[in-house]
Structure 1
């Protein structure tokens, strides 16, 4: 099974300069190939990876593009392969049309086995040398690809792809239904409630102050660039805190339950609600479910996705009565048939669990 592990790395000043050159060459290759393929498509032609690779080889031989030979050729070829994948996803309807890359976005370069060496926790990249990496976990297999990246906040990360068999969690014989929400991040069918820590609200004052200071500076100046990095650091801290919380919550759920049932939410449709879009994005429903998905595969558990049109909130989990309407303002309701009092989210979680284990038809 292919797994990806990411670690923080600390290049020297010389290595940082060389990496900046690699990022620039890789970004140029992507943008050049994207323009080449876009212009060809406009003229009724199609250019694939092999043709763009041959064109890149010819480009390197021209006097005005000799500088492309200053760095390892592997990241440039991988950039073409990644562009081919991006076009494949676009034509399959899984993604939008590939975009041009900017030097102010996240920078990355991918190396294959011919351009890096990993031995005894020492990682060395072609024309870069040995990198200082903070290894936070151990692994036995050799990495197949290495991606080094630089975030907008100026931090460097190394991402390794390995072929490993993750350790499975012990079977508990338990199953659970999970209802996602804004007031509470998740409500479980056993009555357990997981708080929504609302990280955007926690950092929004600090972020607003940093962005206000950025807006008062001349774009492109040294002070503007230093303030831009400060804003990026706040964004990165917010994102890291959210991901850390989601990782802890999902790992705990996967560890305790063998079968986990969730709704297959249309998150893209939900965020069209301009009153709730900010809170839905902050809760990260899509990432929560995707984390449960791959962790269940890794750990030998099962994830069941319930149809998004299943009336989990409007249906009484005791007698099956379905209410005609259930606005979001209604957090508690009483079933007219069995007179049972329901918490909206807990009732939905129980309905999701009942449907997953076959108690609901």
Structure 2
């Protein structure tokens, strides 16, 4: 089982200089490889990783690019592997065409492989190629084989190291319950047991402060010292919102997989839903896709089964008692309704969650 472990690192000035050089060299190699592949394609040739790797070897031999030898050579090779993967994703229609990396980007990272034990954890330090022992905040034990490490810098200037660790397969037990979830914007979700989880709305709570600091930034001369200090202030607000959101999603997803054997959810087209400009910000803030992804990978640890109900299943319109379909409930403003056939009074979201659970269990039986 592969597990990603992220730790904050505190490089000294020399180590920070080497990290920044590696960021720059990886970007140059990636862009050079992309330019070569585009040029060869125009000439009617198709090349891959092997040809771009030969290009890197030739670049190192020239005086113009001799500074590429100063950084971790594996990191440069990995940037070309990332380029090759980006091309494969494009031709498989999983992503758009690769773009050139900007020198002015504030999201920087590079990846290096563990070769001969050059990546390890020792007490409060992480040993990394070319950097040596870097002071770190080790928040969890690293028990397993380290495959690779990704060094990244956030827009606020913090450094992190993400270790890809091969750990023994460990499985935990769950409480054996079954639940259906109907996600929303006002309430994060309503479950089939009529429990309601309120949406924390982290972005909305920080929106005024963010807008104030963003206005200050827009008045400053781009690239100046004051502009850079203000940019970091804005980045820290964004970072705090992201951390709050991720903390909430991790806690709730972990709680659900620990308590339930079966979790039924909707197969939502979130990418299509955010095209609605009136709801796009709210949908992005609630992060349904990330929440569902967390449920998926955490379910493997606890033996929880995630069942996705088809997106066009009218869970809100069907009476959970008699099965009558009420087309009037397509109107989202109707939050409560009474079934004209059996007279049962329904909360819109609670009824939808119960129907999602029923539909999910029926799909499981037929499968």
TM-score (ref. length: structure 2): 0.95
Aligned pair partner of 1:312 in 308, 312, 315: 315
Q: Could you tell me which residue of structure 2 aligns to residue 41 of structure 1?
A: 41
Query: Are 1:265 and 2:268 counterparts?
Result: yes
Deviations 1:232-289 (A, max 9, x none): 1111111111011000011001110011110010001110111111100000010010
Q: Is residue 18 from structure 1 mapped to residue 18 from structure 2 by the alignment?
A: yes
Offset of residue 311 of structure 1: 0.7
**Closer, same or farther in 2 for the Cα pair 1:21/1:302, shift >3 Å?**
same
Q: Deviations over 1:185-223 (max 9, x none)?
A: 011111111110001111111110111000000111111
Q: RMSD across aligned C-alpha pairs, in angstroms?
A: 1.6
Q: Distance in 1 between matches of 2:234 and 2:39?
A: 36
Aligned-partner SS, 1:67: helix
Between the aligned partners of 1:228 and 1:9, the Cα distance in structure 2 is 22
1:188/1:346 contact within 8 Å kept:
yes
Instruction: Identify the residue that residue 138 of structure 2 maps to in structure 1.
Output: 135
Judge conservation of contact 1:166–1:299 (CA < 8 Å) in 2.
no
Conservation of the 8 A alpha-carbon contact between 1:214 and 1:228 = yes
Matched, 1:358 2:362: yes
Inter-partner Cα distance in structure 2 for 1:6 and 1:354:
39
1:272-320 deviations in whole A, cap 9, x for unaligned? 1111111000000100100000000122211111110111111111111
Give how far 1:119 is off. Answer: 4.5
- Distance change in 2, residues 1:158/1:319 (3 Å): same
Match of 2:214 in 1: 211
Rate the CA distance shift 1:234–1:166 in 2: closer, same or farther, 3 A. farther
Match of 2:107 in 1: 106
1:117 pairs with 2:119:
yes
Q: Which residue of 2 aligns with 1:230?
A: 233
Q: 1:139, 1:60 → 2: CA distance?
A: 36
Please, which moves more after superposition, 318-327 or 203-212? Answer: 318-327
The residue that corresponds to 1:96 in the other structure is: 96
Kindly report which structure 2 residues correspond to 1:147-296, keeping only aligned pairs within 5 A, or say none. Answer: 147-165=150-168, 167-296=170-299
Alpha-carbon shift at residue 44 of structure 1 (Å): 2.4
Question: Structure 1 stretch 272-281 or stretch 97-106: which is displaced more?
Answer: 97-106
Which whole-Å CA distance do the structure 1 matches of 2:172 and 2:260 have between them? 10
The answer as to whether partners of 1:185 and 1:195 remain within 8 angstroms in 2 is yes
Asked if 1 retains the 8 angstrom alpha-carbon contact of 2:174 and 2:302, the reply is no
Other-structure match for 2:306:
303
Aligned to 2:5: 5
Moved more, 146-155 or 31-40: 31-40
Unpaired segments ≥5 residues, structure 1: none
Q: Distance in 2 between matches of 1:63 and 1:350?
A: 69
Contact preservation (8 Å) 1:49, 1:81: yes
How many residue pairs align between the two structures?
A: 361
Distance 1:166 1:348, change over 3 A: farther
Partner of 1:255, secondary structure, is helix
Larger mean CA deviation between 183-192 and 295-304 belongs to 295-304
Deviation of 1:135 after TM superposition, in Å, equals: 0.9
CA distance in 2, matches of 1:148, 1:286: 25
Unaligned runs of 5+ in 2: none
Structure 1 pair 298/99, CA: closer, same or farther in 2 (3 Å)?
farther
Native 8 Å contact 1:10 1:131 kept in 2: yes
Whether 1:58 aligns to 2:61 is no
Residue in structure 2 matched with residue 342 of structure 1 by the alignment: 346
